[in-house]
Chain A
Amino acid sequence: TQLLEQSPQFLSIQEGENLTVYCNSSSVFSSLQWYRQEPGEGPVLLVTVVTGGEVKKLKRLTFQFGDARKDSSLHITAAQPGDTGLYLCAGALGGNKLVFGAGTILRVKS
């Protein structure tokens, strides 16, 4: 089992719909990050959240860090086909250890 549990594993929606991806753990993280990965490429950072309860917005994407710093969510408003990809959450532990969740494959159909 992975330290970070992501859900859902796969999401297929129509253009214009909203969606939320969850990242949960029983561990406390000093920070939590969300990455997006395209086929054949390495993950690319979307956002880092550091403070419990923090909310960050990036255009149509809203990221939230749980009060206890154990979980996070990514909400996309009015999804577009360009949002299609693999979304990964990653948590920073002591000693600069960085662990990832299993990822959520998002497909947005036009």
Chain B
Amino acid sequence: NAGVTQTPKFQVLKTGQSMTLQCAQDMNHNSMYWYRQDPGMGLRLIYYSASEGTTDKGEVPNGYNVSRLNKREFSLRLESAAPSQTSVYFCALRGKSSTEAFFGQGTRLTVV
């Protein structure tokens, strides 16, 4: 989806390394989300931001931090990566409640 840009697309980290996943949008939506997707687990919400300057924990926030510095960008940081964080990470955004969520292409992260 051209409206949601995630970088990088692929990343391999060693245990203990840190990294930031970036998400940027050009759709002017207020709410942004970070999910992780593992086999058989669907999409699990890590953190979300209902508007610029606010962030809230989702279902699985441990080991992650987020930053919503402006309306366009919402980043996800792993301070000390662990093998359990190997997953596909999706950024999503949405306008008002009940409207469609638009997803990025995902970041495939492997922690060895």
Residues of A in contact with B (beta carbons under 8 Å apart): 2-3, 6, 9, 30-31, 33, 35, 40-45, 48, 50, 88, 90, 92, 95-103
A-B contact count (CB 8 A): 77
CB–CB A48/B98 < 8 A: yes
CB of B92, distance to nearest CB on chain A (Å): 7
Scoring A30, A96, A99 by chain B CB atoms within 10 A of each residue's CB, the highest score goes to A96
Scoring B31, B48, B98, B99 by chain A CB atoms within 10 A of each residue's CB, the highest score goes to B98
Report chain A residues within 8 Å CB of B44. Answer: 2, 100
Residues of B in contact with A (beta carbons under 8 Å apart): 1, 4, 30-31, 33, 35, 40-45, 48, 50, 56, 58-59, 90, 92, 94, 96-106
Q: List 25 A-B contacts (CB under 8 A).
A: A2-B41, A2-B44, A6-B42, A30-B98, A40-B105, A41-B106, A42-B90, A42-B92, A42-B104, A43-B103, A48-B98, A90-B43, A95-B50, A96-B48, A96-B97, A98-B31, A98-B33, A98-B45, A98-B92, A99-B45, A99-B58, A100-B35, A100-B45, A102-B41, A102-B42
